Amino acid sequence: MDLADRDRRLSRAESLLPGLADRGVVAVATSFVDNSGISRVKSVPLDRLPSLAAWGVGFSTSFDYFRFDDWVAAPPGGTAPVGDQRIIPDLDRLVVLAAQPGWAWAPGERYAQTGEPYELDSRLLLTRLVDELATRRISVLSSIEIEWVVSEEGEEYVPATTGPAYGLTRLTNASDYGRDLLSALAQQGVTVEQFHPEYADGQLEVSVAPESPVHAADTSVLVRQTVRAIGRRHGLRTSFSPKVDAAGVGNGGHVHLSLGRDERNLMAGGSGRFGLTDEATAFAGGILEHLPALLALGAPSVVSYLRLVPQHWAGAYACWGLENREAALRMVTGSRGSEDWAANLEVKCFDLHANPYLTFAGLLAVGTAGLDAGTALPEPVDVDPASLGEEALASRGIERLPRTLREATDAFVDDTVLGTTFGEGLTGAIRAVRESELELFDDAEPDQIAAASRWAH
Ligand code: GLU
Ligand code: MG
């Protein structure tokens, strides 16, 4: 970023001030998501927005090593307290927060003081990978489903809605809450496609329209912030934890994606299985091949593996299948006649402790590697893999995904595609945070892990 860029950003922010003031905005927050999936924020009074947009505000380099509970998994060589990055908001994504009157928010990106992009920034990394795919004339449409539970206030999890799974009675209990949430999301320009009660008591879900990956990740941060804020206004606490309660059903963060070229969906109308084109097949093949390593990004916590078990629709097996909710990769074609716009791939095994920018970056990196290698997809699976039995699973080469964060972290460390794309600094920081969490929960029981992980994200 040079001085001319800074001038442009400054003028742009200045031009936004009157409109924001008219809408009652007093403060602007900008945040980035760290390697443990926590959004870390800085904010300024409205009149400082031009300065924020041009010059940013400081963040310590140690934030790349923060664990979800704020412990710092010290970077090597005693460098934790030294150095500074500047977080700069993306003004194109500035949103007036409907559930936090007086506040606006924009996703931020971190730059070095030289103005160079900070090489450990996950949003900038994802932007680079999206741009690389664009040079192949491939665009990506994507979204992240958000599942959460609402609880009464307090440390314990006390579901705030009860009644049958997916039951209409739950919408009666959550009627005002649901209305306020949908209205806040609409005011913020988020296109909601669905809102429904999920399986567990207190569990709800929102799905949103697909966007480019960077914007889909921004939306995922914004939707969660809105869900939290609406909860507060209703005296409720929100948890996005993959396993709020060790005995219950988990919260997923399923990722949907499709590839396109010149307005055409590459996941439909091809000659491959279920209409996939050769490119979409190879991209999906790359994802399937690297799923164990990707889990260190998409299911990044010890508690993630309490969720990722068979027969919970979490996708615990490394396989794919048409509309198969027990396959880690669920092929969705849509109804007959809608394939062109509806066909996409759902990655079910991920959860909402993930940094969404890192998850998308990982998916694009290994998908692109699949494109380069022309990776094939195995036979799809059309039953619950758990029902096949050990022998059939082994003969068909269908493996359980990592059962622990240890296994996923080891696969990540060994993955050269991810290592090369992310670079040593980012890979090392992610690894340090994962190792530190493994150490934290070394002897912990599932109940303790669920309780300690419940409210942070
Ligand atoms: N809650 C399930 C999960 O942990 C997903 C249920 C669904 O398929 O929507 O991912
Ligand atoms: Mg769901």
pLDDT tens readout for residues 349-359: 999 999 999 99
User: What pLDDT was estimated at residue 80?
Assistant: 76
Summarize the confidence of residues 35-39 as an average pLDDT. 98
| Other CB atoms within 10 Å distance of the CB of residue 395 | 9
Task: Tell me, using a 6 A CB cutoff, whether residue 313 lines ligand 1.
Answer: yes
Query: Tell me, what's the pLDDT at 47?
Result: 98
> Which residues surround the ion ligand 2 when the cut-off is CB under 5 Å?
205
**pLDDT classification of 81: cutoffs 50, 70, 90:** confident
State the closest ligand 1 atom to the C-alpha of 242, by its place in the atom list counted from 1: 4
Q: Which two tokens stand for residue 418?
A: 């991810």
Q: Where are the beta strands (DSSP E) in 81-153?
A: 84-89, 95-96, 103-112, 139-144, 146-152
Confidence label for 74 from pLDDT (cuts 50, 70 and 90)? confident
Helices then strands, counting H and E runs in the chain, come out as 14, 17
pLDDT tens profile 120-165: 999 999 999 999 999 999 999 999 999 999 999 988 999 999 899 9
Task: List pLDDT tens digits, range 190-200.
Answer: 999 999 999 99
**Measured in angstroms, how far is the CA atom of residue 149 from the centroid of ligand 2?**
12
Q: How far apart are CA 298 and CA 428, in angstroms?
A: 17
In this structure, the number of other CB atoms found within 10 A of the CB of residue 129 comes to: 22
3-state secondary structure at position 72: strand
pLDDT value at position 36?
98
For 254-283, the pLDDT digits (tens) are 999 999 999 999 999 999 999 999 999 999
Kindly state the average pLDDT of the residues 319-327: 97
Give the model's pLDDT for residue 78: 80
Q: In the numeric block, which tokens belong to residue 221? A: 């941060």
Secondary structure element (H or E) that encloses residue 413, with its range? helix 405-414
**Of how many residues is the chain composed?**
457
Domain 3-118 bears CATH identifier 2.30.30.30 = no
Give the distance (Å) from ligand 1 centre to CA of residue 306: 13
Is residue 409 over pLDDT 90? yes
Choice from 146, 205, 348 to test ligand 1 binding pocket (greatest atom count within 8 A of CB): 348
Q: Which two structure tokens, joined as six digits, stand for 279?
A: 């490119």
Residue range 327-338: average pLDDT? 96
Residue 92 has pLDDT above 80, yes or no: yes
Strand partners, 331: 322, 345
CB 33 within 8 A of CB 356: yes
Mean pLDDT of 61-86: 87
Is the Cβ atom of 273 under 6 angstroms away from ligand 1? no
Checking if the pLDDT of 75 tops 80, the result is no
What is the residue with the minimal CA distance to atom 5 of ligand 1? 313
Tell me if residue 327 falls in helix, strand or coil. strand
Asked if residue 314 has its Cβ within 6 Å of ligand 1, the reply is: yes
pLDDT tens profile 217-236: 999 999 999 999 999 999 99
For every residue of 6-58, DSSP letters joined together read HHHHHHHHHHHHHHHHHTT--EEEEEEE-TTS-EEEEEEEGGGHHHHHHH-EE
Measured in angstroms, how far is the CA atom of residue 250 from the centroid of ligand 1? Answer: 7
Banded pLDDT at 207 (limits 50, 70, 90): very high
Distance 332 CA to ligand 1 centre (A): 15
Domain boundaries, the chain: 3-118, 130-453
For ligand 1, mutation pick of 254, 256, 304, 401 (most atoms within 8 Å of CB): 254
Mean pLDDT for all residues in the chain: 96
Residue 14's pLDDT band, with cuts at 50, 70 and 90, is: very high
Nearest to 70 by CA among 43, 118, 34, 121: 34
Q: What CATH number matches the domain at 130-453, 3.30.590.10, 3.40.50.150, 3.40.50.1220, 3.40.50.880?
A: 3.30.590.10
Could you tell me the distance, in angstroms and rounded to a whole number, from the CA of residue 309 to the centre of ligand 2? 15
Residue 173 pLDDT more than 90? no
Distance 201 CA to ligand 1 centre (A): 13
In percent, how much of the chain has pLDDT > 70? Answer: 100
- Mean per-residue pLDDT, 86-95: 98
What is the pTM for the complete model shown? Answer: 0.97
